Structure 1
Amino acid sequence: MAGVKQVRNKKLLPDLRKEGILTQEIVLSTKEKHGVPAGSRLFSHHTLASVRRLHFYHPFQLPEDSLDLVLAACYNQSTEKFADKEDLYIQPETQGHDTWRRLRNTLDKIPPAAIPQGHPMKRGGIKEHKSPFSVKLMNSGVHSSQTNPGYSRQPAGGAIFFY
């Protein structure tokens, strides 16, 4: 996903569609962030941690023990000679790689598709249009030209000129 930019999520609920599924709808006292009492705004605003703690949120994949964390780490023992103890546990998302986990309440902003040649017109169809008059068939008509296209014989002198 090259070129995907992460922008701050200004909505009341975080986007956790890649991480898990909500089996129930989250009850919000308001849909607005401005012009409402502070209590209802705080009740409706959820963070990543608060949504993950809900009993009806079911994540797709969770590490079951410390071995799962070590296996998912970016540490490679063949390339790193003298690694620190914490290098065994550094996860890919802390280094900026795209994974199933989300560390910040952000949304993925996909850049618009590049328009070839600067305009949205699509090119397609027939690549080459051959003239039916340039093909010499086996049963050609009596009125077909017997000279090369572009050449003609002049009545005076008989020389061949190219026009």
Structure 2
Amino acid sequence: MIASSLMSSRDPYPFEKFQNDDNFRGKPAGTMPRVYKEATHLDQQKDPWNRLNMTPTLQSVRRRVNHFDPLAPNDALDFELKTSYDQHADLFQPSNYSVLQRETLNLPHGRVLKNREVLSKLPYDPMYPPLRVAEQERRLDPNNVKGAIVGVHTEITNPGYSRKTDGGIFTA
């Protein structure tokens, strides 16, 4: 008893001791802050998640029941007839070359293989567009002033010195 009373009550190891699950893992689950502001099913109805989810890929469209591809081969004979193999030009090619399709060799085949926009090349440089010459549909008579704007210095005002029929002066 005397030895225990002589010992100091100070902890010689002042660092935090991980004694149980709460101390070891951190704060209890009830005090953890919420990471997301809204529920998952509400967030999935907004962009960009909804836009990405509702936009079909080429593969998902091809897996649908009502998908029909008229260019797809019906059987093994069609598959081999659609190859790029030409028996006259490619006579002594290896046997695996005889079944290569045009899509595999990146030859023009008329099918869309990836969801990529085809960029069309403009016939001119957009920095230097070609000049267009606009021609008049009909030639206007310079002596005909009907429909001209009434003002002080038009042809019908006699360089600003003529009067209207009622005696007044022309105003701009």
TM-score (norm 2): 0.42
1 or 2 for the larger relative contact order (CA 8 Å, sep ≥6)? 1
Greater Rg, structure 1 or structure 2? 2
More strand by share: 1
Structure with the bigger percentage of helix: 2
